[in-house]
Structure 1
Amino acid sequence: MSNNPMAGPLPDPWLAAVNVTVPISVANDLDKMQGVIKDVMTQLGCPTCHSGRDLRITIARDFVVDPEGQVQPAVVAPLTR
């Protein structure tokens, strides 16, 4: 913590929104979404609940184009189980 009285309080990490972008194939599968939420919460240090966290889940809408001109979704990492 800073000794500077003008610095203000440190931000509370619990108040910060957590953005999670998923492909439509995951968003449309409740079992996969429950796994995503569990994995996110585990990485945030609370694997047993998500109360108090602001999880903002959006469907991937971004695309990238490779050097050959092929369009791909920007989120391509598969879920591994």
Structure 2
Amino acid sequence: MSNTTLRGPLPDPWLEAVNVTVPMSVANDLDKMQGVIKDVMTQLGCPTCHSGRDLRITIARDFVVDPQGQVLQAVAAPVTR
């Protein structure tokens, strides 16, 4: 069998879980969480609903220490240019 022959159905991207990690300050605010879900769904190409998507929301549990010794949650920050 050649490498170009499919061995089953192609995976459905809608069935793949989408992982979202949020800081506690966002997780405890319903309005912010609704905004997060809307932003995630917009980036996935469906800003008006989330039916059929497996969104897995986790509260950030990882921490980093900056050079001054301050402990911070390790949540990605937007890149500014």
TM-score by length of 1: 0.81
Query: Within 5 Å, which residues of 2 pair with 1:1-81?
Result: 3-6=4-7, 8-75=8-75, 77=77
Corresponding residue SS for 2:34: helix
User: What is the alpha-carbon distance in structure 1 between the residues aligned to residue 31 and residue 6 of structure 2?
Assistant: 48
* Cα shift readout 1:11-53 (whole Å, capped 9, x = no counterpart): 1100000000000100111110000000000000000000000
User: Percent of aligned positions with the same letter in both sequences?
Assistant: 86
**RMSD, aligned α-carbons:** 1.9
Select between 57-66 and 25-34 the one with higher mean Cα deviation. Answer: 57-66
User: What is the alpha-carbon distance in structure 2 between the residues aligned to residue 11 and residue 38 of structure 1?
Assistant: 25
* Cα shift readout 1:34-79 (whole Å, capped 9, x = no counterpart): 000000000000000000000000110101123444321101638x
The aligned length equals 76
Corresponding residue SS for 1:51: coil
Corresponding residue SS for 2:5: coil
Structure 2 unaligned blocks of 5 or more: none
